[in-house]
Amino acid sequence: MITIVIASYQYGHLAAHCIESVLSQSKLPAKIFFVDDGANDCRHLQDLYPEIEYIFRDQNLGTVKNFQDMLMRVETDYVMFLGADNWIRSDAIELLSQFKTDIVTYDIIVTGELKNEINERVPDMTSPFQGDFYWNRKNKHHGSMLYKTQLGKEVGYKQSNALHPQEDWNLWDEMIKRGASIGNINQGLLYYRRHKNNFLKYCPEINKQSQLRLISEEKLVLDEVN
C-alpha cells in the first residue's frame, strides 16, 4: 500500500508529465496526492486528472512545512514524494512494492536541459546513459526514496543544521539512526529533470555543502569496499 505525493511549486508547466508517469504505472499506487504549495499554477490539472486528490495552498509554506503536512495526511504503509518536475519509470511502483524494508532506494537518471550541471554538483559520481547521466544511489539518500509512513511520521520533516541543510537529508539521517532497514533496486527508476527552476531554489553555499557531503558519502562507501 503506497501513497505518492506529487509536490509542486511553480511547476504547473511540467506537472502533467509527472502525473502521467504515475497514472501509467504497471501497478498503481493506492493513493495519489498533488499539492501546489501556493504558486497557483496547477488548477487546470483537476479537469485533466480528477482521480487525484488535490491540495491548493493559499500561501507558500516552504518545503519543510509543506512536506510535513502532506506526510501527516498519508494513511498507507509506505509513502514516496515526487517533485512535479520529475517522473518515474512505468514499472517503478510494481518493483518498489515487492520490498518490506523500512526504506527502499533506487538509482536516478539525470536528464533535462541543464543535466550537465550534475557533473559540477557531484563530480565523478555519474556515468553517461543513453544521452543522459546515470546516478547510482545504492543504499544512499535521495528525496524520492520510498519509506515506511509510520517511521517517517516519528521522525518528521525538519530543517537540519548539519552539513546538508535540506529536509529530506534530515529525514534520512534520523531514520538511519533509528536502525531503519534499507532495500535497494539497482535500476534507474526516477528521471530527475535539471532545469532553470532548479537553480532558483538553492543558493551557492547550499550547493557547495551538498557537494561536500556527497563526496564524503562516496568516500566512506569506497573505504568500506576497499
**pLDDT (tens digit, 9 = 90+) per residue, 116-128?**
988 888 888 899 9
Residue 126 φ then ψ, to 5°: -125, 165
Q: Provide the Cα torsion 116, 118, 122, 125; round to 10°.
A: -70
Structure confidence at residue 7 (pLDDT): 97
- The CATH architecture assigned to 2-225 reads Alpha-Beta Complex (3.90)
Structure confidence at residue 145 (pLDDT): 96
Decide which of 94 and 220 is more confident.
Answer: 94
Scan for cell 541543464, then name that residue: 114
- Give residue 196's pLDDT band: very low, low, confident or very high (50, 70, 90): confident
Mean pLDDT in residue range 95-109: 97
| Res. 83: pLDDT tops 80 | yes
Classify residue 112 as left (phi > 0), alpha (psi -120 to 50) or beta.
left
Structure confidence at residue 66 (pLDDT): 95
Structure confidence at residue 226 (pLDDT): 42
Scored b (16 or more CB within 10 A) or e, 48-58 reads ebeebebeebe
Structure confidence at residue 160 (pLDDT): 64
- Give residue 204's pLDDT band: very low, low, confident or very high (50, 70, 90): very low
- Give residue 175's pLDDT band: very low, low, confident or very high (50, 70, 90): very high
Amino acid at 70: M
Distance, in Å, from the CA atom of 66 to the CA atom of 84, rounded to the nearest integer, reads 14
Mean pLDDT in residue range 68-92: 97
Mean pLDDT in residue range 108-116: 92
Close Cβ partners of 47 (under 8 Å, ≥ 6 residues apart): none
Residue 22 φ then ψ, to 5°: -80, -40
| pTM for this entry | 0.86
Amino acid at 4: I
Decide which of 54 and 201 is more confident.
Answer: 54
Close Cβ partners of 78 (under 8 Å, ≥ 6 residues apart): 1, 2, 3, 96, 97, 146, 147, 148, 149
DSSP 3-state of 3: strand
Nearest to 93 by CA among 74, 106, 109: 106
Q: Judge whether 108 and 190 are in contact, CB under 8 Å.
A: yes
Distance, in Å, from the CA atom of 136 to the CA atom of 128, rounded to the nearest integer, reads 12
Structure confidence at residue 166 (pLDDT): 67
Scan for cell 532553470, then name that residue: 196
| Res. 217: pLDDT tops 60 | no
Decide which of 164 and 45 is more confident.
Answer: 45
